[in-house]
Structure 1
């Protein structure tokens, strides 16, 4: 299971009344390692003059890797985080998270980060099994 959803939040979802703040709080509480990585890279982005920051440290355990994968592989979770923080998130290699200011989404750096070439250049033998 990706998220620990309270009965109250599940009931709200069944009625169609969930807002982004409630959803993001559920993500924060359910995926603490992913939340830590994402909030750290976003804090780094706030001081970045070029509108880009990234996190490249592999997770210490498979459980933490799973949290990061669940957060960034889910369109709804990643979208909720992007709306909440006002950024564009990008993801490579089961652990590399990039955060971009919205103004940078069409930049050369963003296009390179999400490109096939960028993915291939970010590979290494020790990450093949991640």
Structure 2
């Protein structure tokens, strides 16, 4: 299961739309390591850069799983992007990048999300991540 959904939030979802604030709070409490990593790369954009990334492998499989669940889900990733106001990109099992929305489509973004970028970011240590 990706998220720990409270009975109250489940009731809200069963009745209709869930607000971004409610959804993002559920993500924050369910996936604290992923929240921390995403929060860090998003905060790194505050100094005016168009790109920031996190390349430190997670300390355990629990944290790796949180990061994978957060970034593999379109709804979770989209909620995080709306909350923090920037685009997320993901390579391997740990490399998370944030791009200002205006930088999406630019050279740095295209290089990061390209097949070439993925291949260049490989290493034997990360083979099974």
The equivalent of 2:6 in structure 1 is: 6
In the alignment, is residue 17 of structure 1 matched against residue 3 of structure 2?
no
Distance 2:123 2:16 in 1: 44
1:70-100 CA-to-partner distances (Å, cap 9, x unmatched) read 0000000000000111100000011000000
1:22-79 CA-to-partner distances (Å, cap 9, x unmatched) read 0000000000000000001111111143x00000000000000000000000000000
Coordinate RMSD, CA, aligned: 0.7
The equivalent of 2:78 in structure 1 is: 79
The equivalent of 1:116 in structure 2 is: 115
Runs of 4+ in 1 over 6 A off after TM superposition: none
SS at match of 1:91: strand
**Which structure 1 segments of 5+ residues have no match?**
none
**Which structure 2 segments of 5+ residues have no match?**
none
SS at match of 1:60: coil
Distance 1:17 1:93 in 2: 33
Distance 1:115 1:11 in 2: 41
TM-score, normalised via structure 2 length: 0.98
Distance 1:110 1:53 in 2: 11
How many residue pairs are counted as aligned between the two chains? 129
TM-score, normalised via structure 1 length: 0.97
Distance 2:123 2:100 in 1: 28
The equivalent of 2:106 in structure 1 is: 107
Distance 1:17 1:37 in 2: 27
